[in-house]
Structure 1
Amino acid sequence: MTFYNRGDEINALRSAHESPGYAFFVIYGRRRVGKTGLIKEFCADQPHIYFLAAQEAEDRQREKFVEQIAEHFGDRVPRIDGWDDAFAYLGEKLDTEDVVVAIDEFPYLVEENDSVPSYVQGFVDEHLHETDSMLILCGSSVSTMESEVLGHESPLYGRRTGQLDVKPFSFTQAREVISYDIEEAICSYAITGGTPMYLTLFDYDQSLAENVQSQILSPAAILYNEPEFLLRTELRNPARYMSILEAVALGHTTPNEISGATGINSGPLSKYLQTLRRLRLIDREVPVTASGTKSKRSRYRVADEFLRFWFGYVEPNRSSIEEAPDVVYQGTIAPDLSDHVAATFEDICQEVVWELVRRGDVEPYSEVGRWWYGENEIDIVGLAPNDDRILFAECKWTSEPVGRSLIRDLREKVANVRWGPSDRKEHFAVFSKSGFVDGIDRDLGSKWSLISLEEINHVLS
């Protein structure tokens, strides 16, 4: 499979490997984001030992690990009785050759023996330190990696020389994969999200409708049951988590709304929400002007576009999909797709704001996010507290050009945003899929920016 993007991550690994002395890198992130592909791409032109841990007995895992070491060095497989002996054997071999050693899905080893991090600590302190070799520990269980490898109480704390938190692709990064035009590309990204595996399953020589029906709505397709697989991999009893994700995907975003939709009381619900946040399956948002820890105006959203699509359209329509997937697409998904894409479009417009800041085309903002209070909402608000400057922006994914009524509504709403002094500097922007009515720009001053789909494409290309 073609390797896309991740140039910064590859460069970070190469820089660490080429620097004098040893390197100990930790790579973690949600499942399917391309961590294994990143490691293999980096190791392709390096002497390396790649070991993929599995959910199997500790003894068998240790045997396989030692076999990998022996195979690389052309050695007979020695008799090894414990992890301390296994890492001592690896240390002896690294005295003879500098090698990249990558242990993928490290949490599976910890699951079978929680003393493994201590054995790795001994290996780093007693053997790796004296070499120019590199150790990579990688894992998809973010909570395990953060507690057992990166956490203060871990034996490995403070020993890493670098770390990579691998995230899904932004829309800008995903454009390297998605070969549709800008409008269709945004729609496609709103369905697959930035997970590399999902992106590469689509055939961009086919229409979006054909891809959705063949890669998601077909019971034989990988993505048809993908969310269930992800949850079962991470959780022993995923049913309640499934119901929470479905509730959030369908628009129940506050704790009270989620509780009402799922029937889960607020006490247990709080723990479920924390677990889903730890797994990076949902995000908690507060208005950009509010304190993240103190605000009571929190909302939850499904953190992945594909999961939001699946729980919004696939899970509620399973029976119909089994019988007539084309009818589900034409009758249920296609008529509602614009509403689904609109939320993704807001995130993409935030990417545009940050890209314009990076280029120096607009003045910088320290924070950019959504704002709401009561019935009032603004899609994007940017804050520059050192300059008492604030940006207000709306993002419209509609089939009609933006007219003067939206401009008027935005002007009225900004008075409700309590931030900064009364003489704060206000700037405005409107992003529109279908452009703007003729002459609207003549009614606006220099503090307004009107940004079309073509301009978005230009900025993010």
Structure 2
Amino acid sequence: MTFFDREAELDALEAAYASQEAEYFVVYGRRRIGKTALLKEFCTDRPHIYYLAAQESEQRQREKFVEQIAAHVDERPPRITDWEDALAYLSEVLADERLIVVIDEFPYLMEENDSLPSYLQAFIDEQLSETDSMLVLCGSSVSTMESEVLGHESPLYGRRTGQIDLQPFSFQDARDVITYGFEDAVRSFSVTGGTAMYLTQFDYSQSVAENIQQQILSSTAMLYNEPEFLLRTELRSPARYLSILEAIATGHTTPNEIAGATGVGSGPLSKYLQTLRRLRLISRETPVTASAKQSKRSRYIVADEFLRFWFRFVEPNRSSIEEAPEIVYEGTIEPRLPDYVSSTFEDICEEAIWEAIRQGEVDPYSDLGRWWYGGQEIDIVGLAPSDDRILFGECKWTTEPVGYGLVNSLTEKATDVRWGPSDRTERFALFSRSGFVDGLAEDVDENWLLFGPDELDQLM
């Protein structure tokens, strides 16, 4: 698979390696996000030992680890009885050669021996510290990495010299991969999201429709069963989680709505939602003007675009897809795709505001997000408390140019947002897939920003 971007992350790893001192780095993030690709790119042309852990017995894990070390120095693996022996063997090799040592999927090792961080603590303090080598622990179980490797209670706490919490590609970063024009790029990103593995499954010489049918709706395609595989890897009993994700993806976003759609009681549901948040498969939203901890107006969203697409269109139509995928696409997916894409377009527009702030084209805001109250909702609201300034933005993924009606409705809705003093400074932004009606740009004042497809494409 071609390696894309991740320049900041590579720079951080390379700066650590260039220190000529002992380094202990932690890399973690969701599955399929590109951690292994990043580390393999970093290790290219540098002397290294790369060990990928698996869900095996502790003895077999140690044997394979030692075999990787022995293979690097071209000698027979020694007999070892515990992890202390294995790490002592590694320290002998590091005494003679500067190496990068990567232990990938480290949580699998901890499943078999939760004392391993203590062994590594002693190794880092007593052996690695006397070398100029680099140890990298990598894992897909975010909760394990954050608690058992980075957490205050971990024996390894405070010893890392750096860490990377690898995130999905933003739309802007994904444009290096997605070679479509702007509109099709938005459509494509709304299906794959920024997860590296999903992005690179699409063939961008084909249309979005062809990619959806061949890479997702085909029973032989990797993405066809991907969410089930992902949940089975992370959870012992994924059925309830599958139903909760489907409920959220199909518009049941509050705890009461999710409980009603799934039949899961409020007590157990809370634990399921916490687990899905811990796995970074869903996220909890509150209105941008409300306290995230105290607000009762929370709702949940599927945090990954591909999972949102799969649970919206694939899971409810599995039987039909098995029989006639083309008909499912033409009759069910294609007509509903514009409405589906509009949610992703809102996120891309928010990303565009942040980029415009970085470029100095828009006044800075400390927070951006959605706002809703009762039946009213505004796609983007930006807050600048130090300046008593607020931004209101609406995003339209429609085939018709945006006109004066949206200007009037957004102005009216802005009065319902209770934030800041009565003399606050108000700014407005409109984002449109199909541009704006003639004369609108000239008729609005300097407090309004208009972003059509060309402006968005250039900005991103």
Q: TM-score, normalised by structure 2?
A: 0.99
Residue 96 of structure 2 aligns to a residue whose secondary structure is coil
> Residue 48 of structure 1 aligns with which residue?
48
Q: How does 1:342-381 map to 2 (within 5 A)?
A: 342-381=342-381
> Residue 62 of structure 1 aligns with which residue?
62
* Structure 1 residue 439 displacement after superposition: 1.2
> Residue 12 of structure 1 aligns with which residue?
12
> Residue 321 of structure 2 aligns with which residue?
321
* Structure 1 residue 403 displacement after superposition: 1.2
> Residue 135 of structure 2 aligns with which residue?
135
> Residue 193 of structure 2 aligns with which residue?
193
**1:358 counterpart letter in structure 2:** R
Distance 2:291 2:163 in 1: 28
Q: For each residue in 1:237-294, what CA deviation from the matched residue of structure 2 results, as whole angstroms up to 9, or x when unmatched? A: 0000000000000000000100111011111000000000000000000011111101
> Residue 230 of structure 1 aligns with which residue?
230
Q: How does 1:399-438 map to 2 (within 5 A)?
A: 399-438=399-438
> Residue 180 of structure 1 aligns with which residue?
180
Distance 1:69 1:49 in 2: 7
> Residue 220 of structure 1 aligns with which residue?
220
> Residue 340 of structure 2 aligns with which residue?
340
Query: Kindly, what percent of the aligned residue pairs are identical?
Result: 69
> Residue 2 of structure 2 aligns with which residue?
2
Distance 1:371 1:450 in 2: 20
* Structure 1 residue 71 displacement after superposition: 1.1
> Residue 243 of structure 2 aligns with which residue?
243
**1:277 aligned to 2:277?**
yes
> Residue 88 of structure 2 aligns with which residue?
88
**1:23 counterpart letter in structure 2:** E
Residue 78 of structure 2 aligns to a residue whose secondary structure is coil
**2:68 counterpart letter in structure 1:** Q
Distance 2:221 2:116 in 1: 37
**2:72 counterpart letter in structure 1:** H
* Structure 1 residue 443 displacement after superposition: 2.5
> Residue 459 of structure 2 aligns with which residue?
459
**1:43 counterpart letter in structure 2:** C
* Structure 1 residue 442 displacement after superposition: 2.8
Q: For each residue in 1:146-184, what CA deviation from the matched residue of structure 2 results, as whole angstroms up to 9, or x when unmatched? A: 111011111111111100000110000111001111000
Q: TM-score, normalised by structure 1?
A: 0.99
* Structure 1 residue 56 displacement after superposition: 0.8
* Structure 1 residue 361 displacement after superposition: 1.1
**Worse-matched range after superposition: 71-80 or 236-245:** 71-80
> Residue 99 of structure 1 aligns with which residue?
99
* Structure 1 residue 20 displacement after superposition: 3.4
**1:255 aligned to 2:232?**
no
* Structure 1 residue 219 displacement after superposition: 0.5
* Structure 1 residue 365 displacement after superposition: 0.6
> Residue 299 of structure 2 aligns with which residue?
299
* Structure 1 residue 75 displacement after superposition: 2.5
Q: CA RMSD in A?
A: 0.6
**1:74 aligned to 2:43?**
no
Distance 2:352 2:210 in 1: 29
Distance 2:85 2:454 in 1: 61
**1:140 counterpart letter in structure 2:** S
Q: For each residue in 1:322-373, what CA deviation from the matched residue of structure 2 results, as whole angstroms up to 9, or x when unmatched? A: 0000000000000000011000000000111000111111111100111111
> Residue 162 of structure 1 aligns with which residue?
162
* Structure 1 residue 437 displacement after superposition: 1.0
Q: For each residue in 1:399-418, what CA deviation from the matched residue of structure 2 results, as whole angstroms up to 9, or x when unmatched? A: 11111111111011011111
> Residue 26 of structure 1 aligns with which residue?
26
Kindly report structure 1 stretches of 4+ aligned residues shifted beyond 6 Å: none
Distance 2:76 2:312 in 1: 54
Distance 2:327 2:167 in 1: 35
> Residue 287 of structure 1 aligns with which residue?
287
**1:250 counterpart letter in structure 2:** T
Distance 2:409 2:360 in 1: 29
> Residue 38 of structure 1 aligns with which residue?
38
Residue 200 of structure 2 aligns to a residue whose secondary structure is helix
**1:106 counterpart letter in structure 2:** F
**1:74 counterpart letter in structure 2:** D
**1:449 counterpart letter in structure 2:** L
> Residue 309 of structure 1 aligns with which residue?
309
